[in-house]
Amino acid sequence: MMQQLPFRKYQALGNDYILIDSQHTCSLSEETIRAICHRTYGVGADGILLSFTGLRTVSIYNSDGSEAEKSGNGLRIFAYHLIKTAAVEGDHFTICCKAGVHAVYWDGQKVTINMGSMRSVFDIDSGWQPAPISKSLKPQSFNIDGKQFEFVAIDIGNPHCVVLNASLDDLQHYGPLIENHSYFKDRINVQFLHQWDQKAIGIGIWERGSGHTLSSGSSSCAAFYVAHHLGFCSDQVEVNMEGGQLDLRLVEDDIWMSGDVKLIASGTIYTDELALEAINE
Ligand SMILES: N[C@@H](CCC[C@H](N)C(=O)O)C(=O)O
């Protein structure tokens, strides 16, 4: 059935999302999501945020059509959208995604979100395990296509593999190989941690389901959490990515994230004009 879907397009540090705030029940097939996100046949985006007007809950989709439990930039965008459309009142409210409920603060310029904490940690021998009370993390290593990498994989609502000894030049080649490694049956987001000191860390990003992106909120949180617990940085840092910076701090083991969001376009998607056959080739 032909659908006309009003949308807004937002970007957060170069990580772009199409937000569909639907008045009616609306579900999108994987194929439709891929077509909308396609950079030439569609509107073009790293993902889609789907919500129902009046509700503070959002579903998050990657550009390959898969659903994600969480997105840091996606949540900031959704919160900013609720503020700018006057769907929420005041400067303090909560929003919900598949990974749970998140507190939001708005200071008139930036959205700050409680991104929560590490929920589980990956061990090569025993798989995903509940986060240890000690919060201690131990790097492990794997060999990918002839190259040895040190990594720590943690789940903070969505899964992340923080690689500790990789060069950004290797991201395009090894990113997809790590994303799809047999260790990670639900695939994984990948961060190449390439710079750190007490006040700042730098990461390159390969996202599960969306590939190379210019920034990622949940990736920043995972890389920060790992770097801090390995003693590489303090409990408050700037995370530098190709698309810009996020400010993160740990408060009682929860990661608070703040950063920019911009509304860049709005319009209507005509679903029966989407070139599904072209994107399937
Ligand atoms: N861009 C996001 C992460 C989106 C979800 C991720 N690709 C996944 O599949 O978990 C962010 O800003 O966190």
How does pLDDT run across 226-235, given as a tens digit for each residue? 999 999 999 9
Residues 187 and 88 grouped into a single domain:
no
Nearest by Cα to 235 from 71, 112, 117? 117
Looking at ligand 1, which atom is closest to the CA of residue 46?
A: 1
Mean pLDDT of 237-263: 97
Chain-centroid distance, C-alpha 254? 17
Task: Record the tokens describing residue 281, joined without a space.
Answer: 């080739």
Residues 14 and 109 grouped into a single domain:
yes
Residues 70 and 87 grouped into a single domain:
yes
Q: Which tens digits make up the pLDDT trace of 14-42?
A: 999 999 998 887 889 999 999 999 999 99
Q: How many domains does the chain have?
A: 2
By most ligand atoms within 8 Å of CB, the mutation choice from 13, 58, 208, 255 for ligand 1 is 208
pLDDT band at 281 (very low <50, low <70, confident <90, very high): low
Residues 89 and 166 grouped into a single domain:
no
Residues 173 and 266 grouped into a single domain:
no
Q: Is the pLDDT of residue 277 over 90?
A: no
Cα of 158 to ligand 1 centre, how many Å? 8
> How high is the pLDDT of residue 198?
97
Residue type, 127: G
Nearest by Cα to 173 from 163, 183, 160, 186? 163
The DSSP bridge pattern shows strands 236-241 and 200-207 to be parallel
> How high is the pLDDT of residue 275?
80
Residues 110 and 149 grouped into a single domain:
no
Residues 131 and 167 grouped into a single domain:
yes
Residues annotated as binding site for substrate?
A: 15, 62, 72-73, 158, 189, 207-208, 217-218
CA neighbours closer than 13 Å in the CB half-sphere of residue 77: 33
Residues 184 and 91 grouped into a single domain:
no
CATH number at residue 91: 3.10.310.10
* Ligand 1 atom 8 nearest Cα: 68
Q: Which tens digits make up the pLDDT trace of 91-137?
A: 999 999 999 999 999 999 999 999 999 999 999 999 999 998 888 89
Cα of 61 to ligand 1 centre, how many Å? 9
Mean pLDDT of 52-57: 91
Which domain covers residue 192, as residue numbers? 120-252
> How high is the pLDDT of residue 1?
67
By most ligand atoms within 8 Å of CB, the mutation choice from 186, 216, 225, 241 for ligand 1 is 216
CA distance 259 to 74: 12
Ligand 1, CB cutoff 6 Å, lining residues:
15, 62, 68, 71-74, 158, 189, 207-210, 213, 216-219
Task: Record the tokens describing residue 158, joined without a space.
Answer: 């969505």
